[in-house]
Structure 1
Amino acid sequence: MEVHVPEPLREAAADAWRRHARTLCDALGWTDAPLTVRPFPRGLSLALGSPVDLLYTATEVNEAAWARARAEVEGNDLPDLGETVERLTREAAEEADPPLKALLAAAEARGMPVVWDDDAVTVGLGSRGKTFAPDALPDPDAFDWDAVGPIPTALVTGTNGKSTTVRMLAGMARAAGHTVGFSTTDAVTVGDEVVDRGDFSGPLGARAVMRDERVTLAVCESARGGLLRRGVPVPLVTAAALTNVAADHLGDYGVETVPALADAKLVVAKALGPGGVLVAPTDEPEATAAVRRQADALAARGVAIRWTALDPTDAVAGPLAASVVDGAISLQTDGGWRPLCRVEEIPAALGGAARHVVRNALTASALGEALGLRDDAIAAGLRAFRSDETDNPGRANQFDVDGARVVIDYAHNAHGLSALADLATTWDARRRLVLFGSAGDRSDADLAAMCDVLARLQADRYVLVEIPGYLRGREAGAVPALLERLLRERGVPSDAFVQRADPASGTAFALDWAEAGDLVILLALTQRDEVLQLVKDAGG
């Protein structure tokens, strides 16, 4: 739980919460429940442990402890302790689930992954899992534990590149003959079937993949929000990757700095047990630093760190597992490198111009090796991977519209925009147009950082659009107006701007404006299907 507390009261509030939380936990018999206070610039993050079958009650305990702490610090009467304990005891009795607790304990003793929620409990994963209704759990002593087990599983987190890395790795696993289940910001997919569409980069998507008994290998995107709200979506995985870390969504859930964000994303490493593999870059400073901070703890748990870098001499954090050597994606082997495929053979890398895609390829290749995939399958997956609306929707998807190059991309932060801008500088263009909008919950500083990158594109037209449904506290029209002001401050002339009500209407303007030889970049964060259809209807 995050609470905003003025700095002068912060220490007293933290001490009061600890005392009241301990009193309530002890009253419930949770005498060994850990209590954690994490200060952040605007307040405190307050966390406590509980029996695994009493998580809802634990949230009530936390809120009750804070209510008492706040009353104490503010000099008000405290809620009646007896009534509070009586209520919490009643709620704990109603929530208690001895069969679930026994099953989870037995699974943990065997190193068996279990995925569970209010709807179902799955022992084992994918094709080696069995799913039960919460009110029909098996007796751990009578259960056939040999009939269930783990499957090769990977989690991918980071600021950018998660979905691309997941899809690349899924292609490698398909080439190896696996029935792959994977979840991203776009869908849950099993084999060739899209099981569900939407943002499934959190625990819901991971559970859907792990419960599908067709799945023989699983790859799940693990975004910041899900990790902060729900924690690691799978308790035990084979490998995990941190692609990069940059300023994005700072201020949410008490995460105010980039190092704190990196630590939050690296929660995925908690799912790695002895023999597990963490893949991380040596040439992404914040990600590298976060992993190095945890290196000793990871080693103590038997987790291996596999570093990647574009430059094979960039081994500042440790020996590299994957790099680009003599123009080829290569994996480290005893005494040298073994090449998988040349960078120019990867369609999505655009001949190497898309350096961020090459980084993703290194991460996916290292993960593939950790999951036991053959080199030929890893290479086949790379050679087949395209940056189009089928293989990698919204990632530099290119279309020819009457001689104009139209690019659809979902970049939505300065780090992602910078990668796209680097790529765009390699494209010749007679004129340039950029369509962009942002959700209202982005800070002015975030928007300014994005405008730094947008100005680098030196577009002839900037189509600034509202994102309907994502005002998030700002007035209608405020974000496009702020973007225009920020871009003007960065030297963009006043006659370069056009504002439209949404991405679809902005796209219609852009396509009408475009002529042969032009470059049109559509940073369409919403109305993606409509934008894609408009481009296709125009001949793309």
Structure 2
Amino acid sequence: MQLLEALNYMGPNRRFDCTAIEMLLQFDSSELEVLRNHVGTLCEPLRKTLEVAGVELPDGFLAVPADTDAARALGGIFCQTCIALQRWAGHEVAQWQVLPGSGESQQRFIYQHEERSTAEKAGDTVMLLLVQQLPGLVWTSRTGIIDTDAAAMLRQFETLARPLAMPRDTLDIIAAARSLDVPCVRLERDPYQPLPGPQRIRANSLLMLGHSRHRQVVDGTICVTRSHQLLPLLHDRNSRLGTLQSMGLGNPVVSENGPIRSALLAAQKLVCIDGSEAFGDPRVSAHLEQIAQQFPCGLLLVTYVEERGERPVNVQDLDFAPRLDSLPLPGNEIRKRAAEAFIQWIFPAGTESRIPSIVVTGTNGKSTTTTMVDHIMRHHGLVTGVAYSSGVKINGVTTETGDLAGLMGHYRVFESPEPQVAILETARGGVAQRGFAFDWCDTAVCLNVDDDHIGLLGIDTVEQMAELKCSIVARARNTAVLNADDRHCRDMIKKIEARNVCLVSTQQDVQALRDQFPGIHHFCVTEHISNEDWLVFYQRQDRVPLVQTANIPATSRGRLTHNVINAAHAAAAALETGVPARQVASALRSFKLDADTLLGRWNELEGLPFKVIFDYAHNEHGMRHLVTALDQFEIGGTRRVAFAYTGDRGDETTRAAMRALKPGFDKFLVTEFEDLRGRNRHEMRDIVRAALIAVGVEGEDIEEFNSEDEAVKSGLHASRPGDLLVVLGGKLSMRRIWQQLCDYRDQFQDLI
């Protein structure tokens, strides 16, 4: 068996609404034959091995339909056993799935986890147990298992896994937050790291509840951000008792007539939920309100001692972070009610726990549209948090650089206390590998779906890519904004459960859209008004002309049609999130797409006698838009393009991109990126040259270079007045290449 791919979903994802491990396994023909002959004999000995070790097995365990494909049957046995082992160690998991890979020889084994290393150890242990009974199958441990004795492996797993299980109280708080629609992030699970130390209340229990300015941190059963003044008292019983005495509640009393043990056995513990008594002596109820007013905490355990007779009870101690799962409570209901009351104390009725969130996805245009939405929201006066392919920005200020158009960047925004609205670019790779940082969003935008990145991460067709993009848009609760001119986006409509769908089109008029989609009432289209093209927004019968497309600087007087499309989607997203139309129009009229705003998105370099454009077009779709845009400009001289192409693209994908690029240029300066993406040195450069020739470019019009810097330098030196040089930068080298262009411009100006 060969492990081709291992994915760790750190949040809700395309498979489940929970964290999970996904493994892509490939079997050769001999292994498939072994499975056909022996997989049916696996279940009974495996069951006995687990039962001897004390693993509790659920009803229906290892139920596999008789007609199941052999490799798929192995997947069912594997996943069910991984779930059983984790549950045995105290991890609350249940979901699993087996999906086909590419052909009979590949299968995807997917199973829920609560903590990653536990799940990986479970997978390793189960696979080693299975191959012991399957002659001809080999598995190499990924987690360092050396001992092959079944009992020893299971003991080793239990030793690792039990200390990593979440407390029952924490699971109840997570469940309560989910039922009350409060966002919850587990701060000791991926992508975060455990936080040990004496300041901690309870291991594996650290949570962030709420987003950004509403966020609160919980450790155990205490909200450390709301009850921080109580933290010093947690380990100082004398101070607690001193405070109680100052309140007139007395000191703990132990009868001198009996042993201390008898007095402690007579002590009672009282739990109050939402101000109502759960059980205990009603005579202490009057004390509880007084104690609760003195100590601001969401859960409080009061221990008191009662002597015989009518003498008042005496409070013995207080616990501001009680371990309810260690108390002899009758059933689970009280603990669950306590968790809900705790969440309601942190976020009382009418209190917000979320900030509005706008999610942007698509094959091309994501970063531009995200940046446009950010500009609109800040123009409207809101503090924004943006995660996109260039980093994270808080209210326009970059706080982190790098490609953060996914879960990691989204968490950065939700961690920040400033934002009033989150604008989250959401790229294919992050979702496919890690999942989501949110359970739902207010507004989601899908700009387009094209065949870029096909053949990676279980996405082998454009239709599967559309499914992945749809899994993002389907999380919108208020509005899904979809490109009506893209058939894959149109196909998403039937899967959307948001309150509204807003269709965007620059090719169809509103009546055509209404006729085609009678159930949809929100549209953003382009219309010709008084000899000018306008963006016009429709909400049922209301018609609102927004702005002339030529007056949006990012469209270069309407000539950059791809940015007209991006602006229309950004306007729709902002309008659907509550920004007034006047503010949207004003913001778009002031939005300039330069290198300071968004590097690599049609940045024009001024100050040279020839035209220089720096762009990030990196696939067929982007290159087609680039060439279409260039046709709107008068270029009298030679058109050159300096570029490289990504190494993980297939030959046909490369040819399609070169076919899109060919009509726009006379000369092609071909190089390769520093990151070869698994290719050999110069391999991708040679493939690009062959692709250009295959689509009709003459060999004499192609020059090859060893680096991006050399190709750009050659293009600059060769260009003459009236020429055009387009430089297509890679993500990793973008800033360096732009600086190279600026330095050349500065040197040129020093000479004149």
Fold conserved (TM > 0.5)?
A: yes
The separation in 2 between residues aligned to 1:40 and 1:317, in whole angstroms, is 35
- The counterpart of 1:484, out of the listed 689, 706, 712, is 689
**Secondary structure of the corresponding residue to residue 173 of structure 2:** helix
Partner of 2:382: 178
1:206 to 387, 401, 410: 410
| Structure 2 counterpart of 1:445, from 652, 661, 665 | 652
Change (3 A) 1:265 1:524: same
Structure 2: how far apart are the matches of 1:134 and 1:388?
Answer: 48
Alignment of 1:324 with 2:526, yes or no, is yes
The residue type paired with residue 153 of structure 1 is S
TM-score, reference length from structure 2: 0.66
Q: 2 CA distance for matches of 1:536 and 1:508?
A: 12
Q: Counterpart of 2:198? A: none
User: Would you say the 8 A contact 2:671–2:706 is kept in 1?
Assistant: yes
**CA deviation vs aligned residue, 1:96-146 (integer Å, no higher than 9, x gap):** 122542332221111011234434743211222234679976565445213
Q: Which has the higher contact order (CA 8 A, sep 6+)?
A: 1
| 8 Å contact kept, 1:224–1:264 | yes
**Partner residue of 2:160 out of 91, 100, 104:** 91
Whole-angstrom distance in 1 between the partners of 2:548 and 2:560: 14
Shift of 1:478: 0.9
State the distance in 2 between where 1:197 and 1:21 align.
Answer: 38
Output the amino acid matched with 2:650.
S
Paired amino acid for 1:102: D
SS at match of 1:328: strand
Q: In structure 2, do the counterparts of structure 1 residues 111 and 125 end up closer, same or farther at CA, with 3 Å as the change threshold?
A: same
1:500 aligned residue (698, 701, 705):
705
Please say if 1:36 is aligned against 2:36.
no
Whether contact under 8 Å (1:188, 1:195) holds in the other structure is: yes
Specify whether residues 405 and 16 from structure 1 end up closer, same or farther in structure 2 by C-alpha distance, changes over 3 A only. same
Task: Give me the whole-angstrom Cα distance separating, in 1, the residues matched to 2:713 and 2:436.
Answer: 41
Equivalences for 1:225-236 in 2 at 5 Å?
225-236=429-440
Does residue 1:312 correspond to 2:509, yes or no? yes
Match of residue 489, structure 2, among 287, 306, 309: 287
Q: Counterpart of 1:515?
A: 720
Q: Structure 1 residue 5 and structure 2 residue 31: aligned?
A: no
Question: Are 1:455 and 2:659 counterparts?
Answer: no
Q: 1:106-125 maps to which residues of 2 (within 5 A)?
A: 106-118=176-188, 119=192, 121-125=207-211
Aligned 8 A contact 1:188 1:208 in 2: yes
**1:239 maps to which residue?**
443
- Name the SS of the counterpart of 1:394 in structure 2: coil
Measured against aligned partners, the alpha-carbon deviations of 1:28-60 in whole angstroms (never above 9, x if no partner) come to 43897222122132522221224xx43442344
- Residue 82 of structure 1: CA displacement? 4.2
Percent of pairs identical after alignment? 22
Correspondence 1:20 to 2:78: yes
Distance 1:77 1:5 in 2: 12
Shift of 1:85: 4.0
The one-letter amino acid of 2:418's match is R
**Distance (whole Å) between structure 1 residues aligned to residue 647 and residue 117 of structure 2:** 31
Tell me, yes or no, if the aligned pair for 1:356 and 1:419 is still in contact at 8 Å: yes
Distance change >3 Å, CA 329–CA 467, structure 1 → 2: same
Matches within 5 A, 1:45-60: 45-50=108-113, 53-60=114-121
Q: 1:116 to 1:521 in 2, by over 3 A?
A: farther
Listed one character per residue, the Cα deviations across residues 250-272 of structure 1 (whole Å, up to 9, x for unaligned) are 12111111111111122223533
CA deviation digits over 1:155-212, x for unaligned, max 9? 1111111111111101110111001110111121011321111111111111111111
Q: Is the alpha carbon distance of 1:189 and 1:24 closer, same or farther for their aligned partners in structure 2, counting shifts above 3 Å?
A: closer
For structure 2, the residue ranges without an aligned partner over 5 or more in a row are 1-21, 36-68, 140-147, 193-205, 225-298, 300-338, 747-752
Closer, same or farther: CA 186–485 of 1 in aligned 2, 3 Å: same
Determine the C-alpha separation between the residues in 2 that align with 1:40 and 1:272: 29
Q: Contact conserved, 2:125 with 2:157, CA < 8 A, in 1? A: no
1:401 deviation in Å? 4.4
Q: Which amino acid aligns with 1:128?
A: H
Of the three residues 189, 192, 214, the one matched with 1:128 is 214
User: 2:547 touches 2:589 (CA, 8 Å); kept in 1?
Assistant: yes
SS of alignment partner, residue 403 of structure 1: coil
Give 1:238-277 correspondences, 5 Å limit.
Answer: 238-269=442-473, 271-273=475-477, 276-277=478-479
SS in 2 for 1:321: strand
Larger Rg: 2
Task: Report the RMSD for the aligned CA atoms in angstroms.
Answer: 2.6
Secondary structure (helix, strand or coil) at the match of 1:254 reads coil
Over 3 Å counting, the alpha-carbon distance change for 1:77 and 1:277 in structure 2 is same
Shift of 1:406: 0.5
Task: Write the distance in 1 (CA, Å) between the matches of 2:725 and 2:135.
Answer: 57
Are the counterparts in 1 of residues 374 and 384 from structure 2 also a CA contact under 8 Å?
yes
Name 1:103's counterpart in structure 2.
Answer: 173
- Quote how far apart the aligned CAs of 1:435 are: 0.9
Q: Per-residue deviation at 1:77?
A: 8.1
8 Å CA contact 2:474, 2:495 repeated in 1: no
| Selected match of 1:436 from 629, 638, 643 | 643
**What TM-score results when the alignment is normalised by the length of structure 1?**
0.90
* Amino acid paired to 1:254: G
The 10-residue stretch of structure 1 (119-128 or 178-187) with the greater mean CA deviation from structure 2:
119-128
AA in 1 matched with 2:108: S
- Structure 1 residues 527, 75: closer, same or farther in 2, change over 3 A? closer
For 1:377-456, what aligned pairs fall within 5 Å after superposition? 377-429=583-635, 430-456=637-663
Structure 1 segments unaligned to the other structure (5+ residues) = none
User: Secondary structure of 1:435's partner?
Assistant: strand
Assess, with a 3 A threshold, how the Cα gap between structure 1 residues 32 and 399 changes in structure 2: closer, same or farther.
Answer: closer
- 1:40·1:256 contact (CA, 8 Å) conserved in 2? no
Q: Secondary structure at the match of 2:424?
A: strand
Q: State the alpha-carbon separation in 2 of the partners of residues 255 and 461 from structure 1.
A: 34
Asked whether the equivalents of residues 232 and 271 of structure 1 are also in contact (C-alpha less than 8 Å), the reply is no
**Alignment match of 1:475 (pick from 668, 680, 687):** 680
Q: Cα 1:135–1:464, aligned 2, differ >3 Å: closer, same or farther?
A: farther
Query: Which stretch has the larger CA shift, 479-488 or 20-29?
Result: 20-29
Letter in 2 for 1:3: L
Are 1:195 and 2:399 counterparts?
yes
CA distance in 1, matches of 2:221, 2:28: 47
8 Å CA contact 2:493–2:501 kept in 1: the answer is no
Equivalent-residue separation in structure 2 for 1:136 and 1:472 (angstroms): 47
Label 1:232 to 1:317 Cα distance change in 2 as closer, same or farther (>3 A): farther
CA drift of 1:463 comes to 0.8
Residue 220 of structure 1: how far off its partner (Å) = 0.8
Count of residue pairs brought into register by the alignment? 528
Deviates more, 1:89-98 or 1:406-415: 89-98
> In 1, are the aligned partners of 2:384 and 2:421 still within 8 Å (CA)?
yes
Q: 1:328 to 1:69 in 2, by over 3 A?
A: farther
Q: Report if the CA contact (8 A) 1:504-1:527 is conserved.
A: no
Deviation at 1:72, TM superposition (A): 6.4
- Partner of 2:606, secondary structure, is strand
Q: CA 1:13/1:384 → structure 2, altered by over 3 Å: closer, same or farther?
A: same
Q: CA deviation at 1:445?
A: 2.0
Once residues 80 and 261 of structure 1 are traced to their aligned partners in structure 2, the CA distance between those partners, rounded to angstroms, is: 43
Native 8 Å contact 2:391 2:400 kept in 1 = yes
Q: Deviation of residue 150 (structure 1)?
A: 0.8
